[in-house]
């Protein structure tokens, strides 16, 4: 995995550098909420941990369930022709398009 990836309590970020602001920054990936942080007040790892902890505390205070990153469902857009071919092949192989996609992704990563 890339060295600019941090993980904490199930959440991840990609640490990036802003030349304009001369700082490291990131956001919580894999969730719809936009949770941003930077290293202006703390080292980037501490800022990331603080952002996750604050997000989880805010959810608890509001009585809402925190979003789970990468929950295992996503939409894939392909050409109609590829969709048709994959569906036919999956049926002939007695499997599902979900399983075909899962196997292709496993081979990719």
Cβ(6)–Cβ(26) below 8 Å: yes
55 plus 84 within the same structural domain: no
**Domain membership flag for residue 68:** no
**Domain with 19 in it:** 5-62
In the structure, what pLDDT confidence band is assigned to residue 101 with cuts at 50, 70 and 90? Answer: very high
58 plus 24 within the same structural domain: yes
58 plus 11 within the same structural domain: yes
State the pTM of this model: 0.77
**Domain membership flag for residue 69:** no
Query: pLDDT at position 86, please?
Result: 94
Give the tens place of pLDDT for each residue, 57-74.
999 999 999 999 988 888
Which distant-in-sequence residues (6+ apart) come within 8 Å of 61 by Cβ?
A: none
10 plus 58 within the same structural domain: yes
């Amino acid at each position: 995995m890339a060295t600019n990836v941090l993980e904490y309590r199930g959440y991840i970020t990609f640490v990036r550098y802003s030349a304009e602001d001369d700082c490291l920054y990131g956001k919580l990936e894999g969730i719809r909420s936009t949770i941003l942080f930077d290293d202006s007040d703390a080292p980037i790892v501490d800022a990331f941990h603080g952002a996750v902890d604050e997000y989880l505390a805010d959810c608890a205070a509001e009585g809402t369930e925190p979003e789970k990153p990468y929950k295992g469902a996503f939409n894939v857009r392909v050409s109609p022709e590829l969709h048709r071919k994959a569906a036919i092949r999956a049926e002939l192989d007695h499997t599902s398009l979900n399983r075909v996609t899962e196997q292709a992704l496993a081979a990719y990563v």
